[in-house]
């Protein structure tokens, strides 16, 4: 049995008890009104880390399309508290605040909503850890993510061309969902850039049971960080020979089965791709470059 001691970040579909998520995501705006900037990013266990300044202080933030709200690292929570749930069905108390200024490259996201909490177990792994960037910020711009070259462009204008394939997208709470095809069957998955898993399926789900009948799986132990803290988990790991995303083929995709809220494709699913988050038209576009 292989033991992985690295931390894999897994935030998805952050739920807020007693509040309207949509109205919170809409708070704030971008300055200047017409904008375009380029930034480089680094990764930790494949998850993107973006440098940003919050109210003038430089920090490193996880970029998480699956997070319904942004989250700020605070040693002690501030503001009205709520209960949030994460990808592994864990829960935690978080505070709430308005971020007066988050500057990414030449852009400034002003007065956006965020929760806050103490990320014990994660903040020690990322120098100058500031939290995670969620939909209140992501939804306010178009993001062209060149993952192989670790660069991104952020703009209010069109950044993709006809070489990109447009994905079938649904949204729930602001989080993006699409469909993958396995063995000629379509399956709904969340696009979760806060997860380093390529393809994650909940234990006990119909899809997991079907694939376990036809594929070989091994047990793997590792540490995982999610809402609620650091966990030591045992999961099933196998390889899916072919997954289609639209007409794009992804071969020999590592799949892990564990306790999680829903099927998801993480950022490492797109390690050979440029991904365009097109919030102007409410869709995602992808093209393979490697």
Q: What is the pLDDT of residues 152-179, one digit of tens each?
A: 999 999 999 999 999 999 988 778 999 9
Please answer whether residues 132 and 71 qualify as being in contact, where contact means their C-beta atoms are separated by less than 8 angstroms. yes
Q: Is 203 in the same domain as 147?
A: no
- Torsion sign (Cα): 264, 265, 267, 268: positive
Q: What CATH number does residue 251 fall under?
A: 2.40.70.10
For position 228, what pLDDT does the model report?
65
SS3 16: coil
Contacts of 204 (CB under 8 A, 6+ apart): none
Task: Give the predicted TM-score (pTM) of the model.
Answer: 0.90
At residue 56 the predicted structure's pLDDT band, cuts being 50, 70 and 90, is confident
**Strand order across the beta sheet in which 283-288 lies:** 36-40, 151-155, 142-146, 273-278, 283-288, 165-166
Neighbours of 220 (CB within 10 A): 16
User: What is the distance, to the nearest Å, from the Cα of residue 49 to the centroid of all Cα atoms in its chain?
Assistant: 11
Residue ending a domain, among 133, 155, 177, is: 155
As a whole number of angstroms, the distance between CA 96 and CA 72 comes to: 9
**Domains in the chain, number:** 2
At residue 19 the predicted structure's pLDDT band, cuts being 50, 70 and 90, is low
Residue ending a domain, among 131, 155, 179, is: 155
For position 187, what pLDDT does the model report?
96
For position 15, what pLDDT does the model report?
43
For position 199, what pLDDT does the model report?
97
Contacts of 176 (CB under 8 A, 6+ apart): 65, 169, 170, 190, 191, 277, 284
Across 187-209, average pLDDT = 95
Residue 199, domain extent:
165-288
Query: Is it the case that residue 10 has pLDDT exceeding 80?
Result: no
In percent, the amount of the chain with pLDDT more than 90 equals: 77
């Amino acid at each position: 049995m292989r033991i992985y001691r690295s931390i894999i970040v897994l935030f998805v579909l952050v739920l807020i008890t007693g509040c309207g998520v949509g109205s919170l995501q809409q708070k704030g705006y971008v300055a200047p009104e017409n904008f375009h900037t380029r930034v480089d990013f680094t990764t930790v266990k494949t998850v993107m880390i973006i440098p940003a300044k919050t109210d003038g202080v430089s920090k490193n933030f996880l970029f998480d399309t699956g997070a319904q709200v942004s989250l700020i690292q605070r040693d002690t929570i501030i503001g009205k508290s709520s209960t949030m749930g994460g990808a592994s069905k864990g829960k935690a108390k978080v505070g709430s605040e308005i971020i007066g200024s988050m500057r990414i490259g030449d852009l400034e996201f002003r007065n956006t909503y965020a929760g806050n909490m103490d990320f014990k177990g994660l903040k020690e792994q990322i120098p100058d850890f500031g939290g995670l960037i969620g939909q209140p910020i992501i939804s306010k711009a178009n993001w062209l993510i060149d993952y192989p070259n670790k660069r991104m462009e952020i703009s209010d204008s069109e950044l993709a061309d006809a070489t990109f394939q447009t994905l079938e997208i649904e949204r729930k709470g602001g989080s993006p969902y699409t469909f993958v095809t396995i063995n000629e069957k379509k399956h709904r998955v969340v696009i979760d850039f806060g997860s380093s898993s390529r393809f994650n399926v909940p234990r006990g789900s119909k899809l997991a049971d079907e694939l376990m009948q036809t594929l070989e799986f091994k047990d793997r132990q590792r540490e995982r960080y999610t809402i609620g803290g650091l966990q030591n988990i045992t999961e099933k790991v196998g390889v899916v020979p072919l997954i289609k995303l639209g007409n794009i083929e992804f071969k020999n995709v590592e799949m892990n089965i564990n306790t999680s809220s829903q099927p998801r494709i993480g950022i490492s699913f797109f390690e050979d791709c440029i991904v365009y988050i097109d919030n102007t038209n409410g869709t995602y576009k992808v093209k393979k470059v490697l």
